Structure 1
Amino acid sequence: MSSEGNNHGPCFNSLKQGKTIKLRYIKPESVKILERLALEKLKERYPNNPYYPKPTYTDSTSNKLIKCVVDYIGFNGFQVEKINSKGFFIDKRKTSTDVLGNKRTIGSVQFIKTNHKNKFYNISTTIKGQNIKILIKSSPIVSKNQDKGSVGSIKQIESAEGLFLIVENFSQFFQWLNEFTKD
């Protein structure tokens, strides 16, 4: 799962003056196939609509790559779940207006952490009866330097007859899924 020859994503080149520039994003063919597949699914879902919005995907950031992977797995008819391991906000504010028309807000916003253990993967899926956990890393340097806790958890998943993938770009995942689901 190498990213050599990858001309898209968050790549930077150094110049002689010490400045860095971001390379221009070139949409790979696999993302274009995903966009066509998304348009076909829209046409199936809304057959009476004469005008469809063009779905746009990119794998230039981690969040956009997660969306590409989740949608592609779902479009192929497999169970998929995006894991939210950060938490969520609860808004306990109340806004009231007095007799003179002045608005006053009372309360607070509270952040609630999720219950489950610190998850080291972003996507959980079941493909052809196989439990698969996927970690999205758009930077290949970070994915090669996993912390010790996640390495132990990876071994635990693999010992339980599961698969663990580290995905760096959508082309890599597209190729892997097509090979894995080939009959």
Structure 2
Amino acid sequence: MRSIALQRLIDLSMANKRERYPNVPVEWLPRPNYKPNTANGLTKCIIDFLRFNGWQAERINNTGRMYQGKWIPGTGTNGTADISATVKGRSVKIEVKIGRDRQSLEQLKYQSNIERAGGLYVIAKEFDGFYSWYVKTFEP
């Protein structure tokens, strides 16, 4: 049984596909298969949900990389959130945490900086929780 939040995401996804492919019969459009029980799956759900609602959202990757046998650190801000978005003109940072995963000290400092600057910061542990926060925060 799907939650209301996940069903709304699927409905938004199908509406987006119908708009993008108006000449394709609805029954031919593939139904999305969201799996919000992994960090990658939850991140995709959140980004798609925000984009389908007309907002800007992107995944942030600050990991370094290996180059010619040497580790080169990432150039982003330490502790940066997994998702950066703009919703109704507000800066929103979303940290995805699945299971027993917890914020690091750097992530706590980043959260404090965002909130002190007037931005919104939310920790998403499951899609239903994120959806509830979104509705409470942005839908009257």
TM-score between both structures, scaled by the size of structure 1 = 0.67
C-alpha displacement of 1:164: 1.0
Counterpart Cα distance in 1 of 2:47 and 2:95: 12
C-alpha displacement of 1:111: 6.9
Counterpart Cα distance in 1 of 2:133 and 2:98: 16
1:37 is aligned to 2:9: no
User: Which of 108, 130, 142 pairs up with 2:101?
Assistant: 142
Q: Tell me the number of residue pairs that the alignment of Structure 1 and Structure 2 aligns.
A: 138
Structure 1 or 2, whichever has the larger Rg, is 1
> Does the CA contact (< 8 Å) of 1:30 and 1:170 recur in 2?
yes
Q: 1:70-111: CA deviations, max 9, x gaps?
A: 000000001111101124678xxxxxxxxxxxxxxxxx7987
User: What runs of 5+ residues in structure 1 fail to find an aligned partner?
Assistant: 1-25, 91-107
More moved, 80-89 vs 62-71: 80-89
Counterpart Cα distance in 1 of 2:55 and 2:66: 30
> Does the CA contact (< 8 Å) of 2:78 and 2:107 recur in 1?
no
C-alpha displacement of 1:43: 0.5
Please identify which structure carries the higher strand content: 1
* Paired letter, 2:55: F
Q: 1:117-136: CA deviations, max 9, x gaps?
A: 32431000111121111000
> Does the CA contact (< 8 Å) of 2:37 and 2:98 recur in 1?
yes
User: What runs of 5+ residues in structure 2 fail to find an aligned partner?
Assistant: none
Identity of aligned residues (%): 33
Aligned to 2:37: 60
State the superposition RMSD in angstroms: 2.2
Aligned to 1:173: 130
More moved, 26-35 vs 76-85: 26-35
Counterpart Cα distance in 2 of 1:111 and 1:77: 38
> Does the CA contact (< 8 Å) of 1:59 and 1:65 recur in 2?
yes
Describe the shift of the 1:152–1:112 C-alpha distance in structure 2 as closer, same or farther (beyond 3 A).
Answer: closer
TM-score between both structures, scaled by the size of structure 2 = 0.86
> Does the CA contact (< 8 Å) of 1:42 and 1:52 recur in 2?
yes
